[in-house]
């Protein structure tokens, strides 16, 4: 809470909440929440955990060139990471996930974090694909058009840059070696060279067209599964919209959650979700009740399971706080991540926070 970035995220969340709740009829909102059939949340939560398992399988395949790790062993690590994202700002759970993986398997954090960055990149690309696929059936509200164009350029350029890094590792190594040797003090150069090298190793799944296609198809399956959860929760409320509208909602709200906000994506998830539903004729009170209940159903189960796995893996809240500090402060001067048996500053842990912001 001492970080200015935390307070900026909090202000952004409050702004989005103000937009979401402006003009809300509280009486009809509470009526919608009270009369909802919450049994429909059970199949929705079940489908969501299936998608988390598929996410874990996707990550296992991306880590395969680093180390063969069974999916069941990676699942708790993924859940802990998502829990970290839900309770700390700036997606600090991604750093925590790489830390736990290194502690459990010895995979370098910079290499595994490269695969996490790739996951987020493919997630964003599939969200944009959802938008373009559903446009003939669910026209995009005008206010979101500029956002979609901006994200399309951002994710497209990022994917192209990563493919170039993976396809020409020797050439890229010479380029960043040239820059590092002229900018950093001699004592730091070997460590930074190693960090860059391990990061590029984490991108090697991009060198195979088959692996690229596998990642893309798996990501599409993941987000169709998450949209199915939206569909199940919809049945708890008195409205019906086509599945294509829920695909559009899934894409828009998850693109908006990339905007810095308070922990749990408060506001940045809710305001665009409500806006999409009201655009397609759902009353604001019902759209608000549905979106808030859906948000809780997405947040609470994975967070509770993450706490369970955190205790089971002997992780403390201090580990999560240090991951959050690394994510907020970046490389130089950030406190080290503790690890059983570690006795000195962990340069790699300090540097990887900067990678997570790519």
Name the token pair of 70. 């069974």
* Torsion sign, CA atoms 156, 162, 167, 170: positive
Alpha helices, H only, the chain: 4-21, 26-35, 41-63, 71-87, 92-105, 109-134, 145-167, 169-183, 189-201, 209-234, 243-256, 270-279, 284-312, 317-329, 347-356
Q: What would the pLDDT profile of 30-61 be if each residue is shown by its tens digit?
A: 999 999 999 999 999 999 999 999 999 999 98
Q: Give the chain's domain count.
A: 1
Q: Which of 220, 215, 133, 189 is nearest to 351 (CA)?
A: 189
| pLDDT (0 to 100) of residue 219 | 92
Question: What single string gives the DSSP state of each residue in 271-313?
Answer: HHHHHHHHHTT--HHHHHHHHHHHHHHHHHHHHHHHHHHHHHT
Q: Does residue 134 fall inside a structural domain?
A: yes
Q: In which domain, by residue range, is 143 found? A: 10-62+102-308
Q: Does residue 357 fall inside a structural domain?
A: no
Q: Which of 53, 50, 47, 82 is nearest to 231 (CA)?
A: 47
Q: How far is CA 99 from the centre of its chain?
A: 16
| pLDDT (0 to 100) of residue 167 | 64
| pLDDT (0 to 100) of residue 72 | 94
| pLDDT (0 to 100) of residue 191 | 61
Q: Does residue 72 fall inside a structural domain?
A: no
Q: Does residue 297 fall inside a structural domain?
A: yes
Q: Does residue 44 fall inside a structural domain?
A: yes
| pLDDT (0 to 100) of residue 258 | 82
CA angle 26, 31, 36 (to 5 degrees): 130
Phi, psi of 3 (to 5 degrees): -80, 135
Q: Which of 132, 115, 140 is nearest to 272 (CA)?
A: 140
Q: Which of 167, 227, 216, 218 is nearest to 44 (CA)?
A: 227
Q: What would the pLDDT profile of 134-143 be if each residue is shown by its tens digit?
A: 877 776 666 6
| pLDDT (0 to 100) of residue 207 | 65
| pLDDT (0 to 100) of residue 340 | 37
Q: Does residue 204 fall inside a structural domain?
A: yes
Question: What single string gives the DSSP state of each residue in 104-123?
Answer: HH---HHHHHHHHHHHHHHH
- Which residues in the chain land under pLDDT 70? 1-5, 89-90, 139-147, 162-178, 180, 187-207, 319-358
d(CA 265, CA 269): 6
Identify whether the C-beta of residue 257 lies closer than 8 Å to the C-beta of residue 12.
no
Q: Which of 148, 194, 229 is nearest to 351 (CA)?
A: 194
Q: Does residue 343 fall inside a structural domain?
A: no
Q: Does residue 299 fall inside a structural domain?
A: yes
Residue holding tokens 């307070």?
7
| pLDDT (0 to 100) of residue 53 | 97
Q: What would the pLDDT profile of 219-271 be if each residue is shown by its tens digit?
A: 999 999 999 999 999 999 999 999 999 999 999 898 888 888 888 889 899 99
């Amino acid at each position: 809470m001492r970080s200015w970035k935390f307070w900026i995220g909090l202000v952004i969340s409050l702004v989005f909440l103000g937009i979401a709740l402006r003009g809300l009829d509280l009486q009809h909102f509470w009526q919608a929440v009270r009369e909802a059939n919450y049994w429909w949340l059970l199949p929705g939560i079940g489908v969501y955990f299936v998608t988390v398992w598929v996410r874990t399988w996707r990550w296992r395949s991306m880590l395969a060139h680093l180390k063969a790790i069974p999916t069941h062993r990676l699942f708790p690590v993924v859940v802990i990471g998502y829990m970290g994202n839900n309770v700390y700002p700036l997606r600090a759970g991604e750093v925590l996930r790489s830390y736990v993986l290194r502690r459990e398997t010895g995979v370098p954090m910079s290499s595994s974090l490269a695969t996490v960055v790739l996951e987020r990149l493919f997630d964003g690309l599939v969200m944009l694909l959802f938008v373009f696929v559903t446009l003939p059936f669910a026209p995009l509200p005008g206010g979101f058009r500029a956002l979609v164009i901006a994200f399309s350029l951002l994710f497209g350029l990022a994917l192209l840059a990563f493919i170039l890094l993976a396809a020409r590792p020797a050439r890229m190594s010479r380029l960043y070696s040239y820059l590092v040797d002229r900018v950093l003090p001699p004592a730091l150069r070997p460590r930074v060279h190693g960090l860059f090298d391990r990061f590029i190793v984490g991108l090697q799944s991009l060198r195979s067209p088959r692996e690229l296609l596998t990642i893309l198809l798996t990501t599409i399956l993941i987000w169709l599964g998450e949209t199915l959860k939206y569909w199940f929760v919809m049945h708890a409320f008195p409205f019906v919209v086509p599945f294509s509208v829920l695909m559009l909602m899934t894409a828009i709200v998850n693109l908006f959650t990339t905007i810095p906000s308070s922990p749990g994506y408060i506001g940045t998830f809710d305001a665009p979700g409500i806006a999409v539903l009201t655009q397609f004729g759902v009353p604001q009170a019902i759209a608000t009740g549905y979106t808030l209940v859906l948000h809780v159903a997405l947040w609470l189960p994975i967070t509770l399971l993450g706490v369970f796995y955190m205790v089971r893996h002997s992780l403390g809240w201090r580990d999560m706080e240090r991951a959050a500090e690394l994510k907020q402060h970046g490389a130089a001067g950030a406190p080290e991540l503790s690890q059983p048996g570690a006795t000195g500053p962990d340069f790699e842990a300090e540097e990887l926070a900067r990678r997570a912001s790519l």
